[in-house]
A = this chain, B = another copy of it.
Amino acid sequence: MNNLPTVGFIGLGLMGQAMATNLLNAGFPLHIYSRSKHRAKTLINDGASWHNSPAEMAKNLAADIIVICVTDGPALQDVVAGEQGLIKHLAPNTLVIDMGTSPFDLTQTLAKQVTAVGGQYLDAPVSGGQKGALEATLSVMVGGAEEPLTRAMPAFNAMAARVTHVGPMGCGQLAKTANQMIVGTTVGIVAEALFLAQQAGAEPERVRAALMGGFADSKILQIHGQRMIDEAFSPGARATTQLKDMQQASSLAQQQEVNLPLLSRSTAQWQAMVEAGQGELDQAGYLAWVKKLNQQ
């Protein structure tokens, strides 16, 4: 017996499956729901309880924690406030935690709807990718109040290596937006830089080696730079997902009425890459897009 709260987990994609498995392995009684039940098989075999909808899950979890990790805004909207959404049967004081990358304005709306029925809400998107999810070394960026964050910490600690309380509701998503803007644009310029150096006669591998440790060094140069050199473009994180995140960032900039020229150009480039049929490549496949753009 342990005193860990029961956790409901919604969304069993690449990230979600790994995160839910870590919760189960850490001893949390686990309830699960996903659009595709076949993804739940291993977790069910290992002791997780299946539900046929978010509403059904909410009905069965009294005042516990429900983690959501779904693909995009519309999916999140559906899980929380849709026909079979959580708020249909949410018990008062249930803590709903969105760990996906979701639009700032939708976060505000859903948080209000959840608190209106007596629940609590945290936005807690993660960074670290599938590797971080598998190894429970994710970074969590949290927006919301202190008390629900304290409640969530044991569950976060089972999935993540680092938790940062960024600020009030929505601030986790703002940090994630900043993260994705920087990631998407850095991947792009690293690809352009290695491509240009190669065109002019240098070996990209030696250029990358020369840059490591200097001002151009970054996690992207280290990890995605190496993938570019190896032409290892199977995901990982897909270009389509990066585009979705860049578009969310661009929408936020529009809502805030700010002009961000690099974000605009970078978003347009990820869109062009996806439109060119390379959306299923890893982010590092941006190099393949630069080559295609230059007809090679």
Interface residues of A (CB under 8 A from B): 104, 127-129, 139, 141, 162, 164-168, 170-172, 174-175, 177-183, 185-186, 188-190, 192-197, 199-203, 206-207, 209-211, 213-221, 223, 249, 252-253, 256, 258-266, 268-269, 290, 293-294
Alpha-carbon separation in the docked complex, A259 to B265 (Å): 13
Q: Do the beta carbons of A175 and B290 come within 8 Å of each other?
A: no
With A179-B214, A206-B167, A218-B218 known to touch, is A192 a contact of B162 (CB < 8 Å)? no
Residues of B within 8 A of A196 (CB): 174, 177-178, 181, 249, 252-253, 256, 258, 260, 263
Shortest A198–chain B CB gap in Å is 9
Q: Which residues of B contact A220 (CB under 8 A)?
A: 215, 218
Residues of B within 8 Å of A217, CB to CB, are: 218-219
State in angstroms the CA–CA spacing of A202 and B165 once bound together: 11
Contact of A294 with B219 at beta-carbon distance under 8 Å, contacts A178-B207, A179-B214, A189-B186 already known:
no
Instruction: Take A127-B211, A170-B200, A265-B262 as given contacts and tell me if A189 and B181 are in contact as well, using a CB distance cutoff of 8 Å.
Output: yes
Identity of the chain B residue whose Cβ is nearest the Cβ of A220 in the assembled complex:
B215
